[in-house]
Structure formats: C-alpha cells, structure tokens
Amino acid sequence: MNVYDSERMYELMKPHGYKISQNYEESDLIILNTCHIREKAAEKIYSELGRIAPFKKESNIKGKQLNIVVAGCVAQAEGKEIIRRQPIVDIVVGPQTYHRLPEILNRLSNKQRKIVDTEFPIENKFDELKKNRINKNAVAFLSIQEGCDKFCSFCVVPYTRGAEYSRPVLDIISEAKNLIQQGAKEICLLGQNVNAYHGLYKNRTMSLSELIMEIANLSGVKRIRYMTSHPADMSEDLIAAHGKVDILLPYLHLPVQSGDNNVLEFMNRKYTAESYIKIINRLRNVRKDMAFSSDFIVGFPGETKDAFNNTLNLVKEVNYCQAYSFKYSRRPGTPGSVLKGQVAENIKDERLSKLQSILNEQQLNFNSKFIGKSFDVLLERIGKKDNQLVGKSPYMQAVHVKTKNYKIGDTVKIHILRADKNSLEGKCI
C-alpha cells in the first residue's frame, strides 16, 4: 500500500516540475512515506531523519529550500510530535491527506514554516488524485479498499488508516484500463482488508469476486491477484472465483497470525484455527495447486507454550509456500498493549526462530518441487547478470532466466533447473 501511495505522490508532484531523484544531495523535496505497524518500522524514520539532517543544514547554508515531508502512518499517529522530535521536518501529512501535498507545499512560506495535516477529510482522496497513472511496470498495484473495521487487538491500522472504505467499481475499472494501456499485465488489487471490499456499482454494491470478474474481462490483463485478505471475509463466492477465473493466480496471502484459539480470541481475529483450515481446504478443492502464504505474530500476550505449539501444528497442517513472521510489538493505543500476560523478549526470540525454521523448510520444499517442471513466468525486471531477466511464477516465486529473446512484460514458459529458498532459476522452452 505504501508503494502505491508513493507512486500516487509522484504523480501529484510531477506536474509541478518535480522528478524522481536518486539521492538526497540533489533533492529539493524529500518524502519519507512511513509505516507504523511495528515499533521498529516507526523508529527507523527517526534514524533516517538523522541521516537527512546534514543535507538540510547544507541547503540552509546555501540559501536553498530543501523541504522534508513525513507521510504515511507514522505521520498520522504521531502528528506534530515528529516535528518536536526532529525539527528539520517541514510537513507532516497522513495517508488520507497526501493528495493535498502540492497545495500544502504552496502554503509553506517564511511565515508558515511547519504544516501538519493529519485530518480524515470530507473530500475523497481518490477523487482528488490524478486520473491517469504513471506506471510502466508489468505488475501494477491498484488500491481498491482502504482502512479497516476489524480492530484486531494488536493492530494500529484502524487508527492510522481510518474506517474501511471501498472505492466505486467504475473508478477502479477506469484505473485498471489506464494501467493496462501503459503495459501492465498483472493487476494486484490492494486493500488493508481487501476481501471486505463492497464498492458501489450503479445502485448496489459489488463484492471482490464480482470485481475480479469485471477486471478479468478487460482485454490485455494476464494475471490478477489481491492482498491482504482477512480469513473471516473469505466468502463462498470469492473462494469459488478461484475455481472459475483462470487468470486469478493460484496464490493467496491469508494471514492467520496464530494457530491457537485462545490467542486468536485475545487478538480479536473472529475465526478459529479449525475454520481457517476449512477455508484453506475449500480453496484447495476448487483449485488444487493453490499456494498459501501468511503472517504470524509470536509472543502475543497470553501465548503459552502450548498455544505456541498449536501455531506450529497449524503451520505443519497448511504447509505454506512462504510466510512473514514477527515478534509481537506493543503499539500504543491498541488494546493488546495493555493486556496482562505480556511475553518476555527472550521467549519471543526463541519462538520466532523455531517458527521460522519450519517456515523456511516449507518454503525450500515448495520451491524444490518445481525442479524439472515448467510454468508461465511474467518477466518483471532486469537481473544482475548479463542477459538475465527476473519474473514471477504463478505462485509468486522469483524466477531468474537468461534470455535475449524476451523482454519485460512477456509471459514465458520456463523450465526450472535449480531452486533455493528465495528463488528459482530456469531456461526458456
């Protein structure tokens, strides 16, 4: 989502004469688009601002105006506190107000040196953003839903991104067409709780599965995927869509967080380990090669040794192709931060490494199964070696291939020769 928002910020600034710069030294404007999900991510901003400080000083000496913006969810959560902690910051702008950036920059003057805008405005951000995207990538992100009403007890998103909102269908279709015209082959539909999507269409609302079918009908689109989904919103029609829509990839990121029913309840996740497994099985029934990735939190308050073992058991049962796992990070203002039974840091470390060793093994096994087999790869970028291109398999694995005959944006049949945990290598057939 932050990548998408950053692209949108660039689209806003370009008509005002701004270009992307590769370093701080030559920049007139620096935007840090930030993440507040865990403490570590949030703290990184202050160390980066520390690195930027000398450039600001230097530009002041030269009488040049270097403007520093902190955008994103740290901006939303901390507001003017950011400027208090790091006075080099000129503008603080939240995820729902970044469309105002050009106007805010205009307002900066000698009299008004600092502006904080972290409102949840009445105008719709998406209506204010540029209708034409600038995107030459084979894979394009398209935000269809924002915010979240789930209030998982560990999570800051409902507070930083705000209430759940679905964009109208026709706006999404026109953005998708625009992206496809510019060369996008894969559309990744984004939302913090994307499968809660219920966007306006004429006089009714459309579900995510219906929207996927609409996008699948657009000519030129080769692949569709969506993230991130909440298990409680995996409706029957969405599951069925995986069996009906060929170009919907056989890959789903479906965060489970924990495999223990007590912990899931403390987390306010609204499903059980059993109901999660049922969803996985139903998806595998409609599409037998379905691959799953997930997010895990270890050491949530109240997670006992047995509870953690239940997570390991769930992992073994599902058999993931890939996963992200984190130590629980106490986030101010969330219900989880004040729960009894906070878990000691050394126990979190121990559990994280146990969990990761199983997940890593599953990922390597998943990748290794493809040696000697072939599948379609969408080429996305240039590799580090001569004549090497890198693409993604239908299961989101990175695939490296040496070829002079194909270019970025092509879909190529590739025979897999080697595999490691993070990528595959193959040849064109």
Task: Tell me which residues touch ligand SF4 (CB under 6 A).
Answer: 148, 150-152, 155, 157-158, 192-193, 230
State how far the Cα of 74 lies from the Cα of 5, in Å rounded to an integer: 14
State how far the Cα of 34 lies from the Cα of 419, in Å rounded to an integer: 34
Q: Per-residue string for binding with ligand 5AD, 365-404, x by CB under 6 A?
A: ----------------------------------------
Is-contact 260 273, C-beta < 8 A?
yes
CB of 156 to ligand SF4, least distance (A): 7
Contacted by 179, from ligand SF4, ligand 5AD, none: CB < 5 to 8 Å by type: none
Contacted by 230, from ligand 5AD, ligand SF4, none: CB < 5 to 8 Å by type: ligand SF4
Going by the DSSP 8-state scheme, the letter that residue 248 receives in this structure is B
Q: How many residues bind ligand 5AD (CB under 6 A)?
A: 12
- Among the listed residues 148, 396, 150, the one whose alpha carbon sits nearest the alpha carbon of residue 250: 396
Choice from 328, 370, 375, 395 touching ligand 5AD (CB under 6 A): 328
Residue 204: strand pairing partners:
201
Tokens of 63: 């009488």
Is-contact 36 329, C-beta < 8 A?
no
Q: Between 130 and 150, name the residue whose CB sits nearer to ligand SF4.
A: 150
Q: Between 99 and 331, name the residue whose CB sits nearer to ligand 5AD.
A: 331
**Binding span for ligand 5AD by CB under 6 A among 27-35, 72-80, 323-331, 350-358:** 323-331
Phi, psi of 288 (to 5 degrees): -70, -20
Q: Does 326 bind ligand 5AD (CB under 6 A)?
A: yes
Contacted by 46, from ligand SF4, ligand 5AD, none: CB < 5 to 8 Å by type: none
Q: Does 155 bind ligand 5AD (CB under 6 A)?
A: yes
Is-contact 65 57, C-beta < 8 A?
no
Q: Between 295 and 410, name the residue whose CB sits nearer to ligand 5AD.
A: 295
State how far the Cα of 200 lies from the Cα of 274, in Å rounded to an integer: 33
Q: Does 329 bind ligand 5AD (CB under 6 A)?
A: yes
Radius of gyration of the chain (CA): 23
State how far the Cα of 370 lies from the Cα of 417, in Å rounded to an integer: 8
CB of 158 to ligand SF4, least distance (A): 5
Tokens of 326: 């984190």
Q: Per-residue string for binding with ligand 5AD, 238-257, x by CB under 6 A?
A: -----------------x-x
Tokens of 64: 């040049």
Per DSSP, the three-state class of 106 is: helix
CB of 405 to ligand 5AD, least distance (A): 39
CB of 208 to ligand SF4, least distance (A): 15
Tokens of 37: 């999900």
Tokens of 153: 């007890």
> Closest residue to ligand 5AD, Cβ-based?
295
Contacted by 150, from ligand SF4, ligand 5AD, none: CB < 5 to 8 Å by type: ligand SF4
Q: Is the dihedral of CA 231, 236, 237, 240 positive or negative?
A: positive
Residues engaged in binding ligand 5AD (CB under 6 A):
37-38, 154-155, 255, 257, 295, 297, 326, 328-329, 331
